[in-house]
Amino acid sequence: MPGSANFDHTLPSPCGTAVFVLNSKRWHARLPTHLRDGRVHFGDEDRHGQIDAVARSTARLQDALAMPDVVVWPLLVVHGSPVAGGVLDARSPRWAGPVYVLRLALKLIVKWLKMSMVRW
């Protein structure tokens, strides 16, 4: 892929019309992950740079795929830390749509992916 991009996993949809780009982070379970003034925070620490990084990687993958009919979704999956409300909708100037933040919980991720498929 041209340039550099760093993501942990890619998940294509069964029908091939979407690709999920997952970047995973292990953050301590004692501190919550939440939005503050539109920015992702882990406890009091601003971690919005992680949103910008997955947005940048997703944009590079979308450009490399060069398939306008394929929807690409950036996800930041957090291990450990509880995510306020279960899912955060974060924004980055590097990506036109949302970057979703989810807690690593298989049932939650599967449920969210199924709900997302309705949007295609």
74 within 8 A of 99, measured Cβ to Cβ? yes
Q: Comparing C-alpha atoms, which of 39, 19, 8 is closest to residue 104? A: 8
Residue 8 binned pLDDT confidence (cut-offs 50, 70, 90) = confident
What is the Cα–Cα distance from 117 to 119, expressed in whole angstroms?
5
Token code pair at residue 114: 């199924």
pLDDT digits (tens, 9 = 90+) for 39-55: 999 999 999 999 999 99
Whether the per-residue pLDDT at 14 is higher than 90: the answer is no
Place of tokens 């029908």: 15
pTM: 0.82
What is the Cα–Cα distance from 28 to 119, expressed in whole angstroms?
32
pLDDT digits (tens, 9 = 90+) for 74-103: 999 999 999 999 899 999 999 999 999 998
Q: Comparing C-alpha atoms, which of 11, 27, 20 is closest to residue 78? A: 27
Question: Which pLDDT score is estimated for 120?
Answer: 47
Whether the per-residue pLDDT at 59 is higher than 80: the answer is yes
